[in-house]
Amino acid sequence: MRLIRSAVIAFSTYSRLPMPQVEWTDENRRYSMCFFPLVGAVIGGLVWLWLCVCGWLELNALVKGAVGAVIPLLVTGGIHMDGFMDTTDALASWQPREKKLEILKDSHVGAFAVMGCASYMLLMTAFLSMAKPQAGAQAAVCFVLSRALSALAVTVLKSARPEGMLDKFASASKRRMVSVSGLIYVLVCGVIWCLWEVWLALILVAVAAAVTLYYKRMSEKQFGGVTGDLAGWYSQMLELCLIIAAVMGVKLL
């Protein structure tokens, strides 16, 4: 029952899918991050299904890309995009570290956040509009991997705010269990990709590693560690870069 409650909390926090009510105690939240990637599995499955439907019905490419780009926002409620936009504003401010952390907490939306979000959605729409139905399976795994790596990063990277929500989830979780489950998800994603095309799997792994290394360097240099908003930025960037690589890789087959 404890694992079920942790799974419910994970879906309640990181998605807008209807979930039963459970008490948010440290005990119930302990393993919630282990189930975080399953939210990505739901999103990936829906995106894959949509791409297949578009292929069957021969729908317009713009419709295919636009709806595909919106599906993750509908499922998550935009929680990760909110972090992406806040981080974009903070990075564009060129302010000292303390000021950047204040910008992350500011509820107002700046011009750079709007431009960043618009650019992101345009790119996601453009590349999903080019996606073949068979690329949907590759893309679906991207949503799982982005969340697995995000959960894994919580356990190994320094937190910029010990009192922040992200750190509270990390301290409430069994770090070793979250690390192990995160590695298992990563390995499963890699194996699934290899079943289709080994060379494409290597490219996708390389892209994920590059984004992760940049995230670590950027978060430590600019903010002194990771926060919930930065984790959202990381998740969104992983999804975009991986989907671009997956779509282009399948297209070149």
Structure confidence by residue, pLDDT tens digits, 137-154: 778 899 999 999 988 888
**Percentage above 70 pLDDT, the chain:** 91
Q: Per residue in 49-61, pLDDT tens?
A: 999 999 899 889 9
Number of Cβ within a 10 Å radius of residue 188: 15
Q: So what's the pLDDT on residue 53?
A: 92
Residue 249's contacts (CB-CB under 8 Å, 6 or more residues apart) are 138, 197, 200, 203, 204
In the chain, which ranges are E strands?
Answer: none
Q: What residues form DSSP beta bridges with 226?
A: 159
What DSSP character marks residue 231? H
